[in-house]
Amino acid sequence: MRVLSSLIAVCIVLFLSGCWDNRDINHRVLPVVMGVTMKENEYLIYLQIPVPSGNTTKTKIVTGAGKTINHAVDKISANLEDHVDLLHVKVILVDTKYAQKGLDDIIADFMRGRDVSTKTLIAICDDDMDHFFTSATQSMEPKGTALYDFFEKNAGWNPQIALTRVWEVYRSIHSYTRDVAIPVIRSGKTTVVQHIGAAVVKNGKMVAQINPDETLLFNAFNGESTQGKIEVSNHASVLIISNAITNKSLMVNSMPILKSNLKLKVVILETKGNPTTETIKQELEDVVKQRFDQMFAKLQKSGADILGTGQYFRSELSRAELKNWRTKYYSELKLELQVDAIIENTGFLNMK
C-alpha cells in the first residue's frame, strides 16, 4: 500500500512540474508589434498592446530599456500588472541606423530563445521610433491591428511590398548565396503607414535600398504573385492578373550566366489615343526590363544577392566555390531577362 501511495505521489509531482509556471491567458499581455532601437548603448523596446474596450480595440504603447532585449522586456513586465508574452508578436520594427549596423545579434537571440515566433515579420522603420509609434497609435484608433494588417495578404498587403520573416533573415546571415529584402516604412501623413521600398540586407546589414517598383520585380523574380499591380506606360495603363518566371543557368568560360523569362498576363484598363495592342505590349516589356536592369545593377554594386541567383548554380559550382559566390562570381554574373507580356483583350471574363 505504501508503495502504491508513493507511486501516486511521484506521478502527481511529475504532472505538476510541467505546468507550475503557466499563467492564465487573462494574466498575460499579448503585444502585436515590437519596436527595437539602440539608445546610449542600451536596447530601447516599444511594445504595442491591443486593449479591448467595449466593442472596439484600443492600443497602448509601453517602452523599456535594457542591456538585452529580454532584459528590457523583463523590466516592462515588472511594471505591468500582467506577464508580457512575446509569442504573439506579429511584426518587429527596427530603425534604419540599427539595421545598417547589423541585425545579427537580435536575430540570433530570437532564434535561440524562441520567445518570438520565427515566422514573425520584420520591417525597417525609416523614422524616429517615438514619432512613428505615437503617430501610428493615434491613426489606428479604434482598431489596433492596422500595422499588422498592412503586411497581411488577406488585408492591406500589395505586391510591391516585400514580406520577410525572422527565420529568413537568419538563413541569409548563414547562407553563401542568398540575401534578403526587408520592407521599409515610415509614418504616413494621411495614412497609418507609408511604404517607401525595401532594404537590401547582406550578411545581416542594410547595404542599399530599392524602391517599391523594384520591390515588385524582386517579388516576381522570387515567384510571388504580382496580381493587382497597375503598370503605366506612355499609351496605356494595365493591370497584372498573373505572372510566372523560369530560369536557366550555365557557366561559359567560368562566367555565370542566368537566362530568365518573366511572363506577365495583363488586362488593359485605360489607353491614351488609339495605340495598338502590339504597341502597349512592347512599351510594357521595355519598361519592366529597363527597371529590372537598373535594379540588378544596383544589387551587383552592393554585393547583395537578394534574388538568390547563386541558388541556380548549385549544380555547376562546388560547395567550396559557392562559398565565394558573392566575392568571386556574383559581380561577374550576366543576367539576361526576357519579358513577355500577354494582353488579355477579353478582360476578366476568361480569367481562371
No. of helices (H) and no. of strands (E), the chain: 10, 14
Which has more confidence, 50 or 209? 209
Q: Average per-residue pLDDT in the chain?
A: 85
Q: pTM of this prediction?
A: 0.86
The torsion angles phi and psi of 220, rounded to 5 degrees, stand at: -65, -40
Amino acid 22: pLDDT: 53
| Distance, CA of 269 to CA of 305 (rounded, Å) | 35
pLDDT-derived band at 142 (thresholds 50, 70, 90) equals low
Residue 315 reports pLDDT greater than 60: yes
**What is the rounded average pLDDT of the residues 3-13?**
54
Residue 292 reports pLDDT greater than 80: yes
Amino acid 9: pLDDT: 56
Q: C-alpha grid cell for residue 313? A: 548554380
**What is the rounded average pLDDT of the residues 81-97?**
87
The string of pLDDT tens digits covering residues 110-138 is 998 888 899 999 999 999 998 898 887 77
Which has more confidence, 175 or 6? 175
Match 518573366 to its residue by C-alpha cell.
Answer: 262
Strand order in the sheet with 334-343: 230-232, 236-252, 255-271, 334-343
pLDDT-derived band at 3 (thresholds 50, 70, 90) equals low
Residue 10 reports pLDDT greater than 60: no
Amino acid 148: pLDDT: 77
Which has more confidence, 302 or 81? 302
Residue 103 reports pLDDT greater than 90: yes
| Distance, CA of 334 to CA of 257 (rounded, Å) | 5
The string of pLDDT tens digits covering residues 248-290 is 999 999 899 999 999 999 998 888 888 888 998 999 999 999 9
